[in-house]
Structure 1
Amino acid sequence: MSPKDTASSGKRSGGDGPFTPGRIAMILLAVLVLVFVFENTREVKIRLLIPEVTMPLYLALGGVAVIGAACGAYFMSRRNRRR
C-alpha cells in the first residue's frame, strides 16, 4: 500500500469527534451565560424606546442573548454563502 492509501483510509484524527475544542468552548460559554442570567433575577425597570417596563433581569438578559445569537448566526450564514 502506498502512503496515500493508508492516510485516506481509516478513521480521521484531529477533532472530528463529538467534543471538538470549538464545541467545548461554546458549551462553557453557554454555561457561563446561564449562570450569569440566573444570578440576576431581581426585577428591573427597562425603557424600550418610549414605554418603561418592569421585568425580571434574567428575562431581559436572556432576550438580549437570543437576539445576539440570532444576529451572529445570520452574519455567519451570509459569510458562508459568499464563499
Structure 2
Amino acid sequence: MNPKTHREATTSGGTRRGRQGLTPRTVAVLVLAALVLVFVFENTQRTRIRLFVPLVTMPLWLALLGTGVIGALCGALLVSRRR
C-alpha cells in the first residue's frame, strides 16, 4: 500500500469515526431515550383535558408531550428574539 493513500484513508474522518466506541454524548442520548420510553409506557392511561370548550380524552403521555413541545417552542422564540 502506498503511504500517501494510507495516510489519506486514515485522516479522511470516515474510517476513524467508526472506531471511537461509545462517547459520553452517545451514552447520554441512549439513557435519555430509555427514560422517554419508560415514561411513555408508564403513562398510557387516558385522561380528560378541557381545551377551552371541548373535553378531550387522550393518553397522559401525549398531553405532557404536547405541553413540552409548546414550552420548547416558546423558549426558542424568546431566545431567537434576544439575538
**Could you tell me the TM-score, scaled by structure 2's length?**
0.53
1:36 Cα deviation from its structure 2 partner: 3.7
Q: Which runs of 5+ in 2 are unaligned?
A: 1-23
Contact residue 37 and residue 61 of structure 1 kept, 8 A: no
Identity %: 58
Q: 1:65 aligns with which of 51, 68, 80?
A: 68
> RMSD value over aligned CA atoms?
2.6
**Could you tell me the TM-score, scaled by structure 1's length?**
0.53
Contact residue 37 and residue 62 of structure 1 kept, 8 A: no
Q: Residue in 2 aligned with 1:50?
A: 53
Query: Of the two structures, which has the highest relative contact order with CA contacts closer than 8 Å and spacing of 6 or more?
Result: 1
**In 2, Cα distance between equivalents of 1:41 and 1:54:** 12
Does 2:53 match 1:76?
no
State the aligned residue count.
Answer: 56
Quickly say closer, same or farther: Cα 1:73–1:55, change in 2 above 3 A: same
The DSSP-based 3-state class of the residue aligned with 2:48 is strand
Counting only pairs closer than 5 Å after superposition, residues 9-48 of structure 1 correspond to structure 2 as 34=36, 35-48=38-51
The DSSP-based 3-state class of the residue aligned with 1:64 is helix
Whose radius of gyration is greater, 1 or 2? Answer: 2
Aligned partner of 2:48: which letter?
K
Aligned partner of 2:80: which letter?
S
Aligned partner of 1:42: which letter?
Q
Q: Which has the higher helix share?
A: 2
